[in-house]
Amino acid sequence: MEKIRVVQWGLGNMGRGMVEMLFDKEGIEVVGAIEKRVEETTDLGVFLGNEKLGIPVMNDPDALLDLVKPDLCILAIHSFVKGVVEEIRLLTKKNIQVVTIAEEMAFPFVTEPELSKEIDEMAKRAGVTVLGTGVNPGFVLDTLILQLSLGVRRVDHIYARRVNDLSPFGKTVMEEQGVGLSREAFLQGVEDGSVYGHVGFLQSIPMIAKSIGLTYDEIVQSREPIMTTVDRKTKDVFVKAGMVAGCNHTAVALKDGKPVITLEHPQQVRPDLEHIETGDYIEIHGDPDVSMVIKPEVPGGIGTIAAAVNVIPHVLNARSGLLTMADLPVTHAIMDDFTNHLR
Amino acid sequence: MEKIRVVQWGLGNMGRGMVEMLFDKEGIEVVGAIEKRVEETTDLGVFLGNEKLGIPVMNDPDALLDLVKPDLCILAIHSFVKGVVEEIRLLTKKNIQVVTIAEEMAFPFVTEPELSKEIDEMAKRAGVTVLGTGVNPGFVLDTLILQLSLGVRRVDHIYARRVNDLSPFGKTVMEEQGVGLSREAFLQGVEDGSVYGHVGFLQSIPMIAKSIGLTYDEIVQSREPIMTTVDRKTKDVFVKAGMVAGCNHTAVALKDGKPVITLEHPQQVRPDLEHIETGDYIEIHGDPDVSMVIKPEVPGGIGTIAAAVNVIPHVLNARSGLLTMADLPVTHAIMDDFTNHLR
């Protein structure tokens, strides 16, 4: 069977990691990459600091896609639907399947109902699938919660908490989380919307609620700065002691004033430097209760990279349209030839 | 939308539990039950010791199915493919969808390749789905492992252990596990095949291996008696101190002599009476490692009941044929009208 032809769109921290994982996998051929920061056509191997591979990297999406004609594109350039919709228009017009790690795309129907409808229609017209995935939203605080509820007869309240290390992510995420700011600047950023915190609660909560059939009246969110008492440093950011190392972002879906779904997601760079234990915690309260712990947490960077790559055969097999992780068969790691998993 | 018409085939401990759960769910109508132990047609409410419900229970499957014309039947009568294939022949001939908790049906292709082929063909001809599910096999030691591997780039070894309480199960399972026997009788039973232990390793291991694309040369199993030092009693069985309370059954898939998938499943009645902590443990060793704990374990009885009921809309939506849990979209609890989940 012919290999699956993949284009990587966006070569930031996540995009680079995806390319490296794709290189390691059988049945997949990375045929090109799109990166707006390259000024002229270059080689992907050279771009990554290695030997030449004969794989073009271009800043012109239209030209690159026409040149290499991929089956599927992984889009890793932005967190919000508005930041990827133009790209999805181009990809679907060219009948290319889309996996994106834009967090809002994991379940875009509530925050962007009109764009969601447009994307769904474009995808159906083109006969391709558009899927948003990632470690979270897309996995730990939604898909995994759903899967854990299989053995439950009655769900009263879902409580989940993800304490993770934000270090693998790049500048986009650091800015969204207010990393490196003073407490005042953080609070100001929350006010004016420049500090967003986790992009995902307004995706994970509706996805869980719709799948399980829970209803709620409102979602109440809070964003608190996580201050550091020590210097914390990552590849992309330096946080001095006394500054903001991350954002403790929580969201509660309330029905008649009582919590139905509570998600907590304190995210920060280098929690280990203050001996903060990371982990994923899911509690389903009902009949019966289920209480799950993953320690340490499913790592954010690798988890997002792996999720985006591992879903590829499922996306190629799926019906056309704008789908979510809840629409796909159980997604998992793949160690053999990816084309073995095509139907 | 019209309610989903369900027949419960088998009213043992699991079947009764399913009926009670089905009664609680919107969008589902229990239209009849089949139970070979009733001598003449009776009422399901009366059979369960409650008031009359106007739902027939009969010992004649053919007559009952023609009378009530269900959309779907839950089959809970036997652990092995050979013990349910005749029933599946009848159900598919009548174009009825099938959910069964026969453990071997969770992934029957390796132990019963020819019957699997026949069932798949019958189901496709009838345009119905046949699915094997349950807490395990079907969920904890296979589907959940698969789902947890989504964020993993490279899988080297999967180790999982389920320490559970066998008490909710009925006589069939107690006999398979050797519960109540002396050590000698247990060992003799392992020899002659009457003590089987857990029915599921030869389903879970191939299902994991096929989905992830792992290969192995052989599966090595061991079955050891779990002796009790105290009297242990359930609804269905009494185990004196000094006798066998359960079976410590393990299976290892080896490749070139090295373990690829290791599953351990010590099952016993009333482990609490000897302060044995129950739990589900999954470790994926690779890049990255993932280590998950559910404490206490997803309960075996309720878990099986809930899984069989919760998958109903997914089964009705699925393509025809003999499917496994790895073929369905993420399965989960359902709190609203089941018909909301039909496509």
Q: A117-133: per-residue pLDDT in tens?
A: 999 999 999 999 999 99
* Locus of tokens 């629409």: A327
pLDDT for res B171: 84
Q: 60-79 in B: which are within 8 Å (CB) of A?
A: none
* Per-residue pLDDT at A168 exceeds 90: no
Instruction: Give the three-class secondary structure for A75.
Output: strand
Looking up tokens 């693998």 gives A168
Tokens of B36: 């070979």
Name the strands in the sheet holding B28-34, side by side, starting at the edge strand that comes first in the sequence: B42-43, B56-58, B28-34, B4-9, B72-75, B97-100, B129-132, B321-323
Beta bridge partners of A4: A28
Whether pLDDT at A169 is above 90: no
- Provide, rounded to the nearest whole percent, the portion of chain A with pLDDT above 90: 97
Which carries the bigger pLDDT value, residue B209 or residue B169?
B209
In chain A, which residues have their Cβ closer than 8 Å to the Cβ of B212?
Answer: 332-336
Asked if B145 contacts B139 with a C-beta cutoff of 8 angstroms, the reply is no
Q: What's the total number of domains in chain B?
A: 2
A144/A134 Cα distance (integer angstroms): 12
Residue written as token pair 């929350």: A190
Establish whether the linkage from the previous residue to A168 is cis, with ω within 30° of 0: no
Residues B309, B213 share a domain = no
Do B261 and B148 fall within a single domain? Answer: yes
For chain B, the average pLDDT equals 97
* pLDDT score at A170: 83
Residue A147 shares a structural domain with residue A293: yes
Distance from CA of B294 to the nearest CA of A (A): 4
Q: Are B4 and B316 spatial neighbours (Cβ–Cβ below 8 Å)?
A: yes
What confidence score (pLDDT) does residue A224 get?
97
The residue-averaged pLDDT of A310-335 equals 98
Residue B1 scores a pLDDT above 90: no
pLDDT over 90 at A10, yes or no: yes
pLDDT tens, B66-111? 999 999 999 999 999 999 999 999 999 999 999 999 999 999 999 9
Tens digits of residue pLDDT in B38-65 = 999 999 999 999 999 999 999 999 999 9
Mean pLDDT of A99-118: 98
Residue B236 reports pLDDT greater than 90: no
pLDDT at A105 over 90: yes
Q: Of the given ranges (A33-42, A170-179, B132-141, B207-216), which has the lowest mean pLDDT?
A: A170-179
Query: How many other C-beta atoms can be found within 10 angstroms of the C-beta atom of residue B154?
Result: 15
Same domain, A87 and A186: no
Please answer whether residues B249 and B265 qualify as being in contact, where contact means their C-beta atoms are separated by less than 8 angstroms.
yes
> Which of A155, A333, A341 shows the shortest C-beta gap to B149?
A333
Residues of A in contact with B286 (CB under 8 A): 333
Per-residue pLDDT, averaged over A317-323, amounts to: 98
Same domain, A13 and A160: no
Using a CB–CB cutoff of 8 Å, tell me whether A54 touches chain B.
no
Q: CA-to-CA distance for B53 and B47, rounded, in angstroms? A: 10
Q: What is the pLDDT of residue A202?
A: 97
Does the distance separating the beta carbons of B335 and A214 come in below 8 Å? yes
Residues B162 and B289 in one domain: yes
- Name residues whose C-beta falls within 8 Å of residue B192's C-beta, 6 or more positions apart in sequence: none
Which residues numbered 271-330 in A keep a CB inside 8 Å of some CB on B? 284, 286-288, 290-295, 298-299, 302-307, 309-311, 325-330
Over the stretch B185-234, which tens digit does the pLDDT of each residue have?
999 999 999 999 999 999 999 999 999 999 999 999 999 999 999 999 99
On chain A, the residues whose CB falls within 8 A of the CB of B147 are 143-144, 147, 330-332
Nearest to A329 among B154, B299, B326 (CB): B326
Half-sphere exposure of B280 (CA within 13 A, CB side): 21
Average pLDDT of the residues in A167-184: 91
Residue A50 neighbours by CB distance under 10 Å: 12
Give the CATH number of the domain where residue A16 resides.
3.40.50.720
Whether A282 and A309 map to the same domain: the answer is no
Average pLDDT, chain A: 97
Cα A145–chain centre separation: 16
CB contact burial A258-269 (16+ within 10 A = b; e otherwise): ebbbbbbbbbbb
Compute the distance between CA of residue B310 and CA of residue B51 in angstroms, rounded to an integer. 26
Window 213-252 of B: residues touching A by CB (8 A cutoff) are: 213-215
Q: Is a pLDDT exceeding 90 seen at residue A1?
A: no
Those of residues 83-122 in B touching chain A at CB distance below 8 A are: none
Query: What's the gap in Å between the CA of B338 and the closest CA on chain A?
Result: 9
Distance from CA of B30 to the nearest CA of A (A): 17
- In a shared domain, residues A325 and A267: no
Which of A216, A332, A336 is the best residue to mutate to test the B interface, defined by the most B CB atoms within 10 Å of its own CB? A332
What CA–CA distance (Å, rounded) separates B82 from A150?
A: 27
Which DSSP string corresponds to A225-273? EEE-SS-EE-SS-EE-TTSEEEEEEEEEEEETTEEEEEEEEEEES-GGG
Q: Give the three-class secondary structure for A202.
A: helix
Tokens of B111: 């132990």
CB A70 within 8 A of CB A92: no
Which residues of chain A have a CB within 8 Å of the CB of B288? 298-299, 302-303
How close is the nearest chain B Cα to the Cα of A301, in Å?
A: 9
Which three-class secondary structure state does DSSP give residue A100?
strand
Closest by Cβ to B214, choosing from A292, A326, A335 = A335
Instruction: At B163, list the tokens.
Output: 């320490």
Nearest CB neighbour to B333, from listed A212, A328, A341: A212
pLDDT average, residue stretch A233-254: 96
Which residues in chain B are contacts of A304 at CB distance < 8 A?
A: 151
For an interface test with A, the pick among B167, B295, B335 (most A C-beta atoms closer than 10 Å) comes out as B335
Give the three-state DSSP class for A132. strand
For A117, residues 6+ apart whose C-beta sits below 8 A from its C-beta are: none
For residue A327, list chain B residues with Cβ-Cβ distance below 8 A.
329
CATH code of residue B225: 3.30.360
Report CA Rg, chain B.
20
Owning domain of residue B24: 4-135+302-341
On the question of pLDDT at B173 being above 90, the answer is no
pLDDT score for A316: 98
Residue B162: the pLDDT is 98
Question: How many angstroms separate the Cα of A154 from the Cα of each of A157, A276, A326?
Answer: 9, 34, 19
Task: State how far residue B312 is from chain A, nearest Cα, in angstroms.
Answer: 12
Are the C-beta atoms of residues A12 and A37 closer than 8 Å to each other? no
Chain A closest-CA separation from residue B328 CA (Å): 5
Residues B126 and B256 in one domain: no
Which tens digit of pLDDT belongs to each residue from B247-260? 999 999 999 999 99
Instruction: Report residue B169's pLDDT band, with 50, 70 and 90 as the boundaries.
Output: confident
The confidence score (pLDDT) of residue A180 equals: 96
Contacts of B153 in chain A (CB under 8 A): 21, 24, 302, 305-306, 309, 333
Q: Are B2 and B28 in contact (CB under 8 A)?
A: no
Tell me: do B223 and B127 sit in the same domain: no
Q: Tokens 């878990």 map to which residue?
A: B303
Summarize pLDDT for A56-103 with one digit per residue, the tens.
999 999 999 999 999 999 999 999 999 999 999 999 999 999 999 999
Does the pLDDT value for residue A171 go beyond 90? no
What is the value of pTM for the model shown? Answer: 0.97
CB-based contact B335 A306, cutoff 8 Å: no
Residue ranges of B 143-202 with Cβ closer than 8 A to chain A: 143-144, 146-155
pLDDT confidence of B37, banded at 50, 70, 90? very high
Q: What separation in angstroms does the CA of A279 have from each of A117, A232, A276?
A: 36, 20, 10
Q: How many CB atoms lie within 10 A of CB B193?
A: 7
How remote is the C-alpha of B184 from its chain's centroid? 29
A–B interface: beta-carbon pairs under 8 A: 177
Look up tokens 């019957």; give the residue.
B115
Phi and psi angles of residue B15, each rounded to the nearest 5 degrees, phi first: -60, -40
Q: Is the pLDDT of residue B338 over 90?
A: yes
> What's the one-letter identity of residue A156?
D
Does the pLDDT at position B263 exceed 90?
yes
B52 and B125 belong to one structural domain: yes
Closest CA to A224 of A167, A264, A252, A192: A264
Give yes or no: residues A121 and A28 share one domain.
yes
Q: How far apart are CA A258 and CA A218, in angstroms?
A: 10
Are the Cβ atoms of A151 and B306 closer than 8 angstroms? yes
Cβ partners under 8 Å of residue B332, min gap 6: A146, A147, A149, A150, A211, A212, B310
Q: What is the ipTM of this complex?
A: 0.96
